[in-house]
Amino acid sequence: GESAGDIGYGKIILLGEHSVVYGRHAIAAPIPLDIRAEVKPQRDHIDLMIPRWGVEMRLSEPEPAISSLHASISLIAERLGVADRAMRIEVFPRVPRANGLGASAALAVAVIRAMARCFAVEISEREISNLAFDCEKIAHGTPSGIDNTLATFGRPILFRKDSARARPDIRDLATPRPVPIVIGLSGVATLTMQTVGHVRTAWQNNPQRYESIFSQIDELALAGVEALRKGDLAELGELMNIDQGLLNALQVSSREIEDLVQIARRNGALGAKLTGGGGGGAMIAVAEADRTESIASAMRAAGYNTFITEIR
Ligand code: PMV
């Protein structure tokens, strides 16, 4: 069933993607697009089914090319100490894949919860997040840890990775009123590993130049905390617009994202930017509640899929 099962949350990054990999602040919030998983014991084998993504895998048999999905689920079973048990893992995603909305982390969290429940393995929320982080490393290389944190805790946060200490700084954020958000999907898969790699190369070739861009984005994220606290949507929108300019400077935007950003602004959005890894994937626009429907329908008229949601 759609409603049964254990949940991992999808997410949007409001401000601070990419610079968050370099120890700067980012603001992220859950979206109602989540992933559910159910695990049931069976006689033989470990089977993974994701009907909506057309995935059917037998994890207990060797594969010619091990996918990152296969590797992640195997790692989860191993860490929970149930790799020798037979089980059927079923996953029901409501987050579109490879769209910068955190689907891989949400999937890992949902499967960890469901597998732990099935075999009565005790695991804390922090351990769930840490294990999902190790899964993200398989798919992404050098994740900041923001995706697994959001997927686990599912509430708006200010996040900063702290390399000196093992655990990140996580601060809960509150808004006096819901913040309406339109999500636009570019229809092009985002390859977060590629865009993160591209930024890394640029940074290695010219650390000072890129550190200064990361610090500017950091200032926007910190100003965003204040804007959220006041419920100041116009200020938040302006910060998002400037952030989009800086993400553009990092060359992680795309033709479709730029198109969606322009459509959003032309139709009354207070701010619009890509969200997540970029290079495709998703963008977000902030607007007054009475503008979201016309922004979304203009995006749909141009051929894009959209979701309307809010941060609360
Ligand atoms: O594309 P997503 O949903 O995995 O978001 C990636 C966010 C980045 O800041 C680009 C990478 C990271 O690990 O924080």
Among 65-69, 119-123, 262-266, 296-300, the range scoring the smallest mean pLDDT is 65-69
Model confidence, pTM: 0.92
Mean pLDDT for 67-84 is 94
Position 100 scores a pLDDT of 82
Half-sphere exposure of residue 250, counting CA atoms within 13 Å on the CB side? 34
- Enter the DSSP assignment of 163: S
- The answer to whether the CB of 190 is under 6 A from ligand 1 is yes
**Average pLDDT of the residues in 222-235:** 97
Q: How far is the CA of 18 from the centre of ligand 1 (A)?
A: 7
DSSP 44-93: S-EEEEEGGGTEEEETTS--SS--HHHHHHHHHHHHTT-TTS-EEEEEEE
| Number of neighbours of residue 181 by Cβ within 10 angstroms | 21
CATH number of 6-172, picked from 3.30.230.10, 3.20.20.140, 2.60.120.960, 3.40.50.2300: 3.30.230.10
Q: How far apart are CA 139 and CA 193, in angstroms?
A: 8
Homologous superfamily, domain 179-311:
GHMP kinase, C-terminal domain (3.30.70.890)
Residue 196 in contact with ligand 1 by CB distance below 6 A: yes
Among residues 279, 296, 57, 68, the alpha carbon closest in space to that of 186 is found at: 279
Q: Is the CB of 168 under 6 A from ligand 1?
A: no
Q: Which two tokens stand for residue 5?
A: 């099962």
Phi-psi region of 123 (alpha: psi -120 to 50; beta: other; left: phi over 0): beta
Give me the residue spans of the domains in the chain.
6-172, 179-311
What pLDDT does 61 receive? 79
CA–CA dist 188, 282 (Å, integer): 9
Q: How far apart are CA 109 and CA 118, in angstroms?
A: 14
Query: Binning pLDDT at 50, 70 and 90, where does residue 1 land?
Result: very low
Mean residue pLDDT of the chain comes to 93
Could you read off the pLDDT of 175-213 as tens digits, one per residue? 999 999 999 999 998 888 899 999 999 999 999 999 999
Q: Which ligand 1 atom is the nearest neighbour of the CA of 140?
A: 13
The pLDDT value given to residue 3: 55
